Amino acid sequence: MTREEFAAIALSFPAVEEGTSYGQPSYLCRGKFFTRVRRDDDSAVLMDVSFDERDLLMEVEPQTFHFTPHYKDYPSVLARLESLDPDQLRGFLERRWRKLATKTMQKAWDAGR
């Protein structure tokens, strides 16, 4: 997946826009951190991933999923864009989006699907 494809998927969620988080280009939902691509290794930062799920993902798909010491204490995982499946990305981002979206936004999203 390219950065452009990643951006198109991230921006397909309601109320998501480009912004910055801790000085880094990011995607925000309602002003809160949604996701970003790390410059260092072209990996997406995927939030709201339990530690058990992260361990399983890294075991099953080590070519895609990993983390750095910075993220070890956060419920998150890093995913290399070059091997990340777009449908997987949508699933991770929808989970995060539902945590940040209002109930009204979620109802509208579900009704439109």
47 in any annotated domain: yes
Supply the pLDDT for residue 75: 96
pLDDT-based confidence at 12, cuts 50/70/90?
Answer: very high
Look up the pTM and report it: 0.94
Residue span of the structural domain in which 99 resides: 3-87+95-104
Residue 56 in 3-state DSSP?
A: helix
64 in any annotated domain: yes
Q: Report the alpha-carbon distance of residue 88 to residue 41 in Å, rounded.
A: 19
Helix residue spans in the chain (DSSP H): 3-10, 51-60, 86-100, 103-111
pLDDT over threshold 90, residue 24? no
Supply the pLDDT for residue 113: 79
112 in any annotated domain: no
CB 70 within 8 A of CB 36: no
Q: What angle do CA 82, 2, 105 make, to 5 degrees?
A: 110
Number of domains into which the chain is organized? 1
pLDDT in tens, 83-108: 999 999 999 999 999 999 999 999 99
52 in any annotated domain: yes
Average pLDDT, the chain: 96
